[in-house]
Amino acid sequence: MNPSPPIPAMLLAAGRGERMRPLTDTCPKPLLPVRGKPLMQWPLEALAQGGLSRVVVNTAWLGEQIAERFGPAFESLTISYSHEGRDFGGALETAGGIARALPLLGDLFWVLAGDVFAPDFVFSPEAVQRFAASDKLAHLWLVPNPAHNPKGDFGLSPEGLALNLPADHPGPRHTYSTIGLYRRALFAAPWCDIPAGNPPGIKAPLAPLLRRAMDNSLVSAEPYTGAWTDVGTPQRLTQLNTTNP
C-alpha cells in the first residue's frame, strides 16, 4: 500500500510585529535574522525535513519582501502566498487568514507561525496519521509557560484532550506553541461562520473556534518540551542571537 501524500502546511506571517518596532518598521518580523537566517526560514526548513511538499504563507505588513525573499519554492517546498495586505489592506487575524487560504489547503493541514523559533520540532507523518484516524478537529502542541505568558492558554487532560479552562482555574494550563494539526471542518459551521476563501475579508482570531471545539471534546493536545521561543520582542531576539544553540 502506497503511503498517503504529505499534507500541506499554513505558515502564518501576516502580523505587524508592533512589539518589535522599530526593527519591523522596514522589515517584516518573519525576516528578522535569527542565528544567521531569516526567522521564517527555520520553520520552512523543519517542514521540508518532515517531508512536506506544499506550504501556504499569508502576508500583510511588508509582505512583498517575504515573497521576494523566498519566491515560489524553498528546498523541497512549493510555496503559495495569500496576500492579505494586498487584497484587504491588512492582516485578517489567525482564523480569518486560515479561512482565506482554505482553497489552497486540503482537508487536513499543519498550521504554524513564522515568528516562532522551534528548530527541533518534527513534522512527522506519524502524527498526521494519528490525527487523521481520530475524530478531532485539531491537535495542538503545548509548551511550558514562558515568562511573558505565565498563566498559559489551555489545560491538558490525562487522556490528551485540550481543555478550555478559565484563567482562575486551579489546574495547570499550558501555552499553545502555535504548532497544530487542523481539519478543514473547524473552519465551517457550527464552529466558524466565515465562508471558505473569506471573500469579504473578515478578521477573526482562532482561539474562540478552538475553545468552542474544546468544550465539545474535539481538540486533542500533547506537550512539547524542545527548544521554543515566541520571538515577540527585541529582547527575545537578542537573547536568541547571543545564546549558543
- Which residue segment(s) compose the domain that 161 sits in? 9-242
Q: Is residue 111 part of a domain?
A: yes
Instruction: Please write the tens of the pLDDT for every residue from 57-74.
Output: 999 988 899 999 999 999
Residue 129 belongs to domain with CATH number: 3.90.550.10
C-alpha cell at 117: 523559533
Residue 1, domain member (yes or no) = no
Give the model confidence (pLDDT) of 92-140 as tens digits. 999 999 999 999 999 999 999 999 999 999 999 999 999 999 999 999 9
Q: What is the mean pLDDT of the chain?
A: 92
Which pLDDT score is estimated for 22? 83
Quick: pLDDT tens for 6-26: 899 999 999 877 777 887 889
Q: Rounded to two decimals, what is the model's pTM?
A: 0.93
What confidence tens digit (pLDDT) does each residue in 197-230 have? Answer: 999 999 999 999 999 999 999 999 999 999 999 9
Examine the pLDDT at 34 and tell me if it is beyond 80.
Answer: yes
Residue 110: inside a domain, yes or no? yes
pLDDT class of 245 with cuts at 50, 70, 90: low
Average pLDDT over residues 38-51: 95
Per-residue pLDDT at 2: 40
| Count of domains observed in the chain | 1
Average of per-residue pLDDT across 33-46: 94
With respect to residue 3, please indicate whether it lies within any of the assigned structural domains.
no
Residue 4 lies inside a defined structural domain of this protein:
no
Q: Does 3 score more than 60 pLDDT?
A: no
Angle at 34 between CA 180 and CA 125, to 5 degrees: 30
